[in-house]
Amino acid sequence: MESKIYNQKGKEAGKVELPEGIFGLSWNNDLVHQVMVSMMSNSRSPISHTKDRGEVSGGGKKPWRQKGTGRARHGSSRSPIWRGGGITFGPTNEKNYTKKINKKMSAKALFTVLSQKLKDGEILFVDNFDMKEAKTKDAKEILSSFSLVKGFETMVSKKKNSSFIALGETKENVVKSFSNFGNIQIGETRNLNILNLLNNKYLVIENPEKSLELLSGKISVKK
């Protein structure tokens, strides 16, 4: 299985051999959904919080004596049935949303999505990003060049979730150059996950040889 490699100007610069174990898998909806839901749950921060009757202020004194008033018995004005009292069964920030994801499941789900994106013609392999300075203007020219490649015409015009750029290694100038684009995300291949892929239409993989080595390192794959 081969794919073309392009340079920054959108011109063909060679070819790369793609391993079947990463880019030749069939679609597995259940696996992808399970891993996606688990990752979204793990990234969730419990913010909502309500106070129960033991956390609200006041209510230390019994509102009235137990008997003889003709009214119902109450021990505290902070009871949930009182106005200003505690909340019963409300959300708390102590809730744990973490879900376990097996390493092999996570890796196979990633490879499954990569395989589907390759079939859909949504992966662009780039030999190298060489930017001596951090300039948004230069980054825009690179994106315009990529949009001339067949199948990637909407890379620039798509307003949201256009592309994820996966770098072979940390490149500060490249990251800064693309950071001003609201429709572009950028990161390193070693940190690539299915949310990066599912949340963006296109995937741009820089330095294919090194990137494929990093991907293969997640689990053993067939050449």
| Per-residue pLDDT at 221 exceeds 60 | no
pLDDT tens track for 160-185: 999 999 999 989 999 999 999 999 99
pLDDT in tens, 26-37: 999 999 999 999
Angle at which helices 29-42 and 103-119 cross, to 10°: 120
Mean pLDDT for the chain overall: 92
* H helix intervals, 9-135: 20-23, 29-42, 103-119
CATH fold of 2-27+101-216 reads: Ribosomal Protein L4; Chain: A; (3.40.1370)
In the predicted structure, residue 219 carries a pLDDT above the cut 90: no
DSSP per-residue codes, 133-152: S--HHHHHHHHHHHTTSTT-
The domain ranges of the chain are 2-27+101-216, 45-96
Task: Answer yes or no: are the C-beta atoms of 46 and 30 closer than 8 Å.
Answer: no
Q: Judge whether residue 223 has pLDDT over 60.
A: no
Per the CB < 8 A criterion, the answer to whether 183 and 103 are in contact is: no
64: nearest Cα among 50, 81, 80, 76: 76
Q: Is the pTM of this model over 0.85?
A: no
pLDDT of amino acid 121:
93
CA distances from 85 to 51, 75, 76, 81, 180 (A): 9, 12, 9, 7, 48
Q: What gap in Å lies between CA 117 and CA 129, rounded to an integer?
A: 22
CA–CA dist 158, 185 (Å, integer):
13
Q: Phi first, then psi: what are they for 20, rounded to 5°?
A: -65, -30
Distance spanning both ends of the chain, measured CA to CA: 10
